[in-house]
A and B are shown apart, each in its own frame.
Chain A
Amino acid sequence: MTDTTSNGTMLSADGTPLKVSLARALRRQKIRALMLIAPLLIFVLVTFIVPIASMLFRSVENDIVSNTLPETVQTLAGWDHASGEAPDEAVYEAMYFDMFKAAEAKEHTKLGTRLNYENTGTSSLFRKSGRGLSKIGKTWQKPIESAAKPLKDGETWFAMMSGSGSNAVLEERRVLWQNLTGDPFKGEVGITLSDDMVAMLPKTAAAYADWAIFEALEEEKDISKRDPWEAVYTALGLDLMSQETQAAVASYSGTGAEELRAVIAALDTLPEADFKGAFIDMEDGWADPDVWRTILTYSPAYTSGYFLNAVDMKKSLDGFEARPENQQIYMTLFKRTIWMSIIITTSCILLGYPVAWLLANLPLRSANVLMILVLLPFWTSLLVRTSAWKVLLQDQGVINELLVWLGFVADANRLALMHNQTGTIIAMTHILLPFMILPLYSVMKTIPPTYLRAAKSLGATNWTAFWRVYFPQSVPGIGAGSILVFILAIGYYITPEIVGGTEGIFISNRIAYHISSSLNWGLAAALGSILLAVVLVLYWLYDRIVGIDNVKLGG
């Protein structure tokens, strides 16, 4: 029931263009199909793609520096890193306040660990300094408190700082806390900062807000009754040292005016504003421009540093440079992983091809027995199989004992079959063999025996018939098996770990190390991403050279 309009488009029975109604019908079909696979799709998305994506994201993510030391990073931007000298006082002052907060929230050691990946020693520097910060704070708190006794008391502070205002500073500082800890820091802090105070004592207001938020929301205390921490006194001391503030305080008459004037009167009892000196006194390391260079290098929220590390390079402020010879391990490992995977794939082809051929050509009963033998390894734990290889391959193992007993090798020069590449290759070839045999078998099963007969009837010898007629038709099976084995091999972990020693380990072992021991997830993620990229590139090459249509897992 179609009709044609004047311009030639086909119409369906109800007058809508045929194309439109076809599209509608197809869309309905597609939606139904999509709904059918929705559970799997969601499962795959949630359990597979999301974790992988977040893992890949980790390989470039680097906001820990700017989140932990937000003000330091800002101040440090003005530092001439090529001067060869440590930054000036302002940076150290910002560092003091940033670190103080981080130390209270126990976040500073995380940053230390992170920076330690790039510059060894940073971790202990941060850890030790965390403890020294309150000492610096005390040198400010003590004289202030003795100059103005009421400032010993949290209630005085609360009365002095609260008032009317927009509370913008509080909200600003709340965001900084959120960034620093990753916690929500939601809820009422219980104070409105007086706008006058914020204008008069900006550093103090910021430090007080920091403390108030932490005290109220993390420690869940009533801030009107609690004494602020040392950094607030330090901030007050710094504020009151400026001429401008002193003038403002002189004309100020609100709560605490008296105390503030008392502190100004006793300014000479306060320490000098020399945080640089204080930091260096605390730890010599802070005088080292390298530490600051590392912080600056890694201050952006995203970094190529992990990837550079993963290819034995080092990120520096002027781009990147190769790592010293003795620290280059990853490229060697990548090359070894790929090379050994190729060897393993090749041995799987050589060993698996005849077995698959037998499987496809034996009478059903014997073929079934053989198939069970091929599948048997799948029924045993991977760990058990690998351990069995350990028993076979070790110095005093079955193979060596046998060879010595037969007199093929002298007792003194037993073959080193384990804790080297040989061990990894032997064990992994065995373990991955079924993944070669099964696709090969399923392809060979579809090659009718008449082809061989036809070839022979045409005058071909057994070998020619095999090589020119049978083999080319089994190539898709070899392709499928090789892709399978190679991709499995390139990411293999347990077997190299157990029988590989240091010579026979793969890049995955290094990835596992960074995930579970050194906790350098960013580097692990970068190594993993490179591995993924290598596989994709090889896959692409394979497609270009052999053609992915030539891969068959069965008829």
Chain B
Amino acid sequence: MKLFISLLAVLVLIILPLILVANGGDSIRYLFGVIVPYVGIAVFLFGIIYRVLHWARSPVPFRIVTTCGQQRSLPWIKSSKLENPHTIWGVLGRMLLEVLCFRSLFRNTKVELHEGPKLAYGADKWLWAAGLAFHWSLLIIFLRHFKYFAEPVPYFVTVIQNLDGFFQVGLPILYITDIIVVVALTYIFLRRVFVPQVRYISLPADYFALFLLLGITISGIVVRYFFKTDIVGVKELGTGLLSFHPVVPASIGVSFFIHLFLVSCLLMYFPFSKLMHMGGVFLSPTRNLVNNSRAKRHINPWNYPVKVHTYEEYEDEFREVMRAAGLPLEKE
């Protein structure tokens, strides 16, 4: 049910440009080629900034690090600089490992309960592998797309592109990342559908994000390998958008508009969805703080006085028994 609603939503997003652009005139092409992408980019940028600022507006009252290794205490005990950082450099390393290598997900285990009862914990790296493959491929694909926006094509883009097309299979050359991204997304999707626990916790939004991303990658592949859309025209559109002199060349086909529209939708959806984990991971206090709360005082901006029980009140209540027990008193 949740799955179908999401699938339906993405299908609508595909059919919309399909019907409108195919039957519409120049103004419709302008709408889908220029206006919608601009709106997408604007919503994306402002949305992300808004969300990050919105998070940052709330303070971090306590230093609640999740420590995953030995603390720094005595000089002869080796502390874990990355898993339990006591310097800002350690935190930086920890965050880099987290963001670039998905360190925490790498720990993943799967529990098995056998008769007895007997519990066993096996390493389960599939989610980590698929997650990492997906995110890295997406990044590379994203960077590759710079060639449609910049003239001359930046050097690093050419390098990435050459590496990505290293195997020189097919014409146009098949990019490895195109395959990886689809395979990884498919795995993540199947996992969500077939692992009962994961299906149980899934919301429509979880499927929607997956279908949207699958729609984008597949439409991109279709545009490139099957319809072989006019690359020159696409580049004209891209550079035009970037230089704020947009033109929509007549040579661009409908399939490309579908791809572009889905990307625009993703951009608009991104800041208001769980996809914001991209920004959130940097702000997660359990990972981005130094575990030095005993060495350096952490300030809570809203720390307020509370009602406490003072020693005087305590002694007033227990003076007699304290005296009888021979305990020293403040007031005899």
User: Are A and B genuine complex partners?
Assistant: no
Chain B contact residues, CB within 8 Å of chain A? none
